[in-house]
Structure 1
Amino acid sequence: MSDGEPTSPELEKLRFLYRVQLQQVAQTQRWIDAELARVRERASRRPLPDGPAYVLSYLRAGGQPTADSVHLGDCRQASHHTRPLTREQALQAITSGGLRACEICRPDSELGVLDS
């Protein structure tokens, strides 16, 4: 407020209200920022996987289990008879182990194996 500016009790009350509201808006913005930080923190946490990343699926051939194919851990095309694999084991099974990669879940793409 500069000197010579008209004033009145009502104008003073309105200016006071304006300052209070600016403080409330600033507080609300701080609350929004804090909640946004909490939401981002929760979103950045990844739940631990329920199972292995890769599995080796077996088929029964003549009563003996025979390794059939490599799948992503959550693939529903894998047989009920599976064994968990590490990333390295899955990569080895597909590239030099002679096993096929599931055509549905495509573990070969996940592993970065190019089709030849």
Structure 2
Amino acid sequence: MPGGPLCAYCGPWSTSGVEAGRYRGKYGRRHRPRPPDWIVELTNAKGEPFQVHDGACGMTGRRHRAIGRDEARRLLTADGVPPCPICHPGTQLHIIGEARMRAGRGTTA
């Protein structure tokens, strides 16, 4: 054959394992699922909500699950789950004033 043996992963256009690895890496980056919009971190003991995070926050713990915008707002306001101090999901959800009132840290005008 003119190009050498065929690669089992990539087909006739690649002749080395290095090229096959590059192709698989590019395919994985292109087809990676989108991160969730919001994440709730859960406690280790009972699995109760511990903190609310932005979906791209790197400070989430091992135990977490994806949630929607409405559930994130409900957890931060009505249920009293604290927001992550790193990614500040309350700012993105426009509930800063409500969170301060709930925590008794000031008044909003």
- TM tier, smaller: 0.5 to 0.7
Higher strand fraction (1 or 2): 1
Rounded Cα–Cα distance in structure 1 between residues aligned with 2:62 and 2:34: 16
| Superposed CA offset, 1:23-80 (max 9, x none) | xxxxxxxxxxxxxxxxxxxxxxxxxx7121101101212xx32210100011111111
SS class of match (2:75):
helix
Higher Cα radius of gyration: 1
Of the candidates 39, 61, 78, which is equivalent to residue 79 of structure 1?
Answer: 61
Rounded Cα–Cα distance in structure 1 between residues aligned with 2:94 and 2:73: 9
Shift of 1:88: 0.7
User: Which runs of 5 or more residues in structure 1 are unaligned?
Assistant: 1-48
* Total equivalences in the alignment: 67
Shift of 1:102: 0.3
The TM-score normalised by the length of structure 1 is: 0.53
Rounded Cα–Cα distance in structure 1 between residues aligned with 2:48 and 2:68: 19
The TM-score normalised by the length of structure 2 is: 0.56
RMSD after superposition: 1.7
User: Which runs of 5 or more residues in structure 2 are unaligned?
Assistant: 1-32, 101-109
How does 1:6-45 map onto structure 2 within 5 Å?
none
Rounded Cα–Cα distance in structure 2 between residues aligned with 1:88 and 1:66: 18
Which one-letter code corresponds to 1:58 in the other structure? Answer: L
Q: Where does residue 41 of structure 1 map in the other structure?
A: none
Structure 1 segments of 4 or more deviating over 2 A? none
SS class of match (2:44):
strand
Higher helix fraction (1 or 2): 1
